[in-house]
Structure 1
Amino acid sequence: MNEMEYKDFYNRVGERNGWDFSKVKCRVLGEAADLYKEVRKVCSRFNLLLDIGTGGGEAILGLHDAALLVVGIDQSDGMIATAQRNLERLQASNVRFMQMNAEQLAFPKAFFQIVTCRHSPFNVEEIARVLSPGGIFLTQQVSEGDKLNITQSFSRGQHDGKSDGTLRDQYVRELTTAGFTDVRVRNYNTTEYYQTAEDLIFLLKHTPIIPDFGIDAADFIKLQSFIEANKSEKGIRTNAARFIITARKRT
């Protein structure tokens, strides 16, 4: 997808579903990346927390009790609409959702003590600007080796032509150049077993793993071949490759 196609896809998914995959039945073997578990470890009840690319707010709403104020932003009005509906159900008074581009954060300098970003692009210089001295940035991103057997079966994927570790190393360089210290990286690669073909189809239709999945009828022929080659009594096997970076703004 080009940038405009991705934005359109992202907005449609946001209105329909957000990033809610709770109905997808998937068995995970190994330690999975969990950004917001790491956030809870470092966040104080006196902190102001910004979540970039918050989607439908499904994850960050689970941290409403960990900070004084939680602000979730997303470029998609569809995602923010879903986030607002989720917030209304939870009725957390210290959470705000705003439509905003991560390239231009409309907040004062050094406003937040914690900034997070999961599976979304971010601007390191903008994060450094809105993060207070000594504040912590945490991000979880999808590695190029994610869903490797699927992308090989379809001969296309969201990271076409990029070797594993490219995005991770880019972000580490950018954070170091921007003056962040104590930059730490942790890599994860778990085995996943999707329980039914419907679970796998839902994933592919609601993520950019295979760009434009399902538009061409041939995709379902490839999918059937993939399932036949990778199914077992545990489910349909693939992998989830992620990395988490934590970094502290220099005091």
Structure 2
Amino acid sequence: MTATFDHLVAEAESVSVDGWDFSWLDGRASEQRPSWGYQKLMGTKLAGVRSALDIQTGGGEVLAGAVGAGGPPLMAATESWPPNVDRATRLLHPLGVVVVADPDEPPLPFGDAAFDLVTSRHPVTIWWEEIARVLRPGGTYLSQQVGPASVFELVEYFLGPQPEEVRRARHPDDAAADAARAGLEVVELRSERLRTEFYDIGAVIYFLRKVIWMVPGFTVAGYRDRLQELHERIEKDGPFVAHTARFLVEARKPS
């Protein structure tokens, strides 16, 4: 029996959106993964350094998977949202990672040249000068970031067509230019657009509750009519298809 609109809404509104674990969407949505395998790549980089920092670690899930049982002797992570700070602390402390509450504004709470490696997956803000400052000479910054117009099929369903400057925001070429201005040498820049499918309206609601910058101020009550229309569309035509934009940037601080 197909779940009703009201049932799917109630279910998606009741689930916690703390942390950065999307396992609730298993079977309800799917997303192609970038070919470079960020978590595995991150783990390889961590295994070869003595000190590392993960910026905006969220609930620590990605870092925990990358560290495994063999992280560097000195490993720190920053996070700004208090529920995620607590969650990341519980997850990462047993792995030897100290979690530092940080407002995601300069300066980073570390001294100059403190780390061999700085990482960040899907950062909301990127303070390139601070990244360069805390890297030792010869150190590396590795980051997977959200690219331009990511999942904009869904964004524009709710908000309407977006201006070109909004659609182009977070372009990988801009990230490379910002890195260079901060004195870093970009050694790799790769980008991909990847298919994402939402199989029911509950998945859409959960996603927009969790990724709050996609449709700012999103609430079920505020968009109920559009949600009802989208529910009916999915029931009739199948999954709602969008495309995520991802890019990988690796930059090095000159020796």
Q: TM-score range by the shorter chain?
A: 0.7 to 0.9
1:115 positional shift: 0.2
2:111 match:
108
**What's 1:235 paired with?**
239
Contact 2:17 2:209 in 1 (8 A): no
1:197 aligns with 2:201: yes
| Partners of 2:254 and 2:235 in 1: CA distance | 49
CA distance in 2, matches of 1:227, 1:32: 31
Pair 1:164-2:164 in alignment: no
Q: Which residue of 2 aligns with 1:10?
A: none
For residues 137-176 of structure 1, the C-alpha deviation after alignment (integer angstroms, 9 at most, x for no partner) is 0122222211121112112599984233644233211211
Aligned-residue CA RMSD in angstroms? 2.7
Q: Which moved more, 1:36-45 or 1:202-211?
A: 36-45
2:20 maps to 19
Cα offset for 1:50?
A: 0.3
How many residue pairs were aligned? Answer: 233
Q: Does 1:214 align with 2:219?
A: yes
CA deviation string 1:50-75 (max 9, x = no partner): 01111111111112224223211012
Query: Residue 23 of structure 1: SS of its match in structure 2?
Result: helix
Q: Is the 8 A contact 1:50 1:112 kept in 2?
A: yes
1:246 alignment partner, SS class: strand
**Deviation (angstroms), 1:194:** 2.5
1:4 match: none
Equivalence for 1:134: 138
**How many Å apart are 1:34 and its aligned residue?**
4.1
Amino acid at match of 1:247: A
Q: CA deviation at 1:131?
A: 0.5
- Residue number in structure 2 paired with 1:36: 39
Counterparts in 2 of 1:24 and 1:177: CA distance versus 1, 3 Å: same
Change (3 A) 1:128 1:57: same
Q: Unmatched 5+ residue regions in structure 1?
A: 1-14
Output one character per residue of 1:6-26: Cα deviation in whole Å (capped at 9) or x when no partner: xxxxxxxxx951112112122
1:11 match: none
Aligned twin of 1:154: 158
Deviates more, 1:176-185 or 1:127-136: 176-185
**Which residue of structure 2 lines up, in the alignment, with residue 48 of structure 1?**
51
- The residue type paired with residue 101 of structure 1 is P
State the SS of the aligned residue for 2:21: coil
CA contact (8 A) 1:140 1:245 kept: yes
Distance 1:218 1:16 in 2: 19
- Does 1:58 pair with 2:61? yes
Normalising by structure 2, we get a TM-score of: 0.80
Contact 1:33 1:243 in 2 (8 A): no
Identity %: 27
C-alpha deviation, 1:206, in angstroms: 1.1
Question: In the alignment, which residue of structure 2 is the partner of 1:96?
Answer: 98
CA distance in 1, matches of 2:189, 2:20: 24
- Whether the 8 Å CA contact 1:150–1:226 is kept in 2: the answer is no
Letter of the structure 2 residue corresponding to residue 60 of structure 1: L
Q: Distance in 2 between matches of 1:66 and 1:158?
A: 42
Q: Deviations over 1:100-131 (max 9, x none)?
A: 13411121211111101122212111111110
Secondary structure at 2:25's aligned position in 1?
Answer: coil
Paired residue for 1:124, among 128, 131, 140?
Answer: 128
Matched, 1:175 2:179: yes
Cα distance change of structure 1 residues 205 and 165 upon mapping to structure 2, 3 Å threshold? closer
Letter in 2 for 1:44: A
- Structure 1 142/224 Cα, relative in aligned 2: closer, same or farther at 3 Å? farther
Conservation of the 8 A alpha-carbon contact between 2:172 and 2:191: no
Equivalent pair of 2:17/2:210 in contact (CA under 8 Å): no
